[in-house]
Amino acid sequence: MDATMAWALRKVMAEFIRADGRSITLMRPTLTKTGTGGYDKGSFAAQAPQTFRLVMYRRRLTDLTTPKADGEIPTIPYVLVGAFNSNVERMDEFLLDGVYYRIQGLEPHTTTPYTDRKVAQLIALDQGGVTWA
């Protein structure tokens, strides 16, 4: 994709996000490497508010569901869609409508130079920093 096409797609995507956008303040944790290859999460730093749109996750080529008695339920019911230059990283957290969320990852095609958006996969938390069991 060339720069002209990317510019046009970015304008369309900006209008899509603006049409049903939500102002969200992402909280970014400081991560300290442990001796065993993991990370310890430290304090959180608030990022500047940004506009994102929550979009239902509909990926048919991946198995992101959990089997339950009533059938399969999606592990990731929504994704967060932001502008191509959104400041969003894995492990960022935010509070929206009384629910805490964590960014589990960014979709790979949304981090290329000529992308028109960033798409972040979410998980819900029962409180800030703690994953639902």
pLDDT tens, position by position, 84-116:
999 999 899 999 988 889 998 888 777 677 788
Residue 36 lies in a domain: no
Residue 113 lies in a domain: yes
Number of domains forming the structure of the chain: 1
The confidence band for 122, taking pLDDT boundaries of 50, 70 and 90, is confident
Residue 35 lies in a domain: no
Burial profile 6-34: b = 16 or more Cβ within 10 angstroms, e = fewer: beebbeebbeebeeebeebebbbbeeeee
CATH number for position 92: 2.40.10
Residue 15 lies in a domain: yes
pLDDT tens, position by position, 13-47:
999 999 999 999 999 998 888 888 888 888 899 99
Q: What domain range is 7 assigned to?
A: 3-30+41-131
Residue 67 lies in a domain: yes
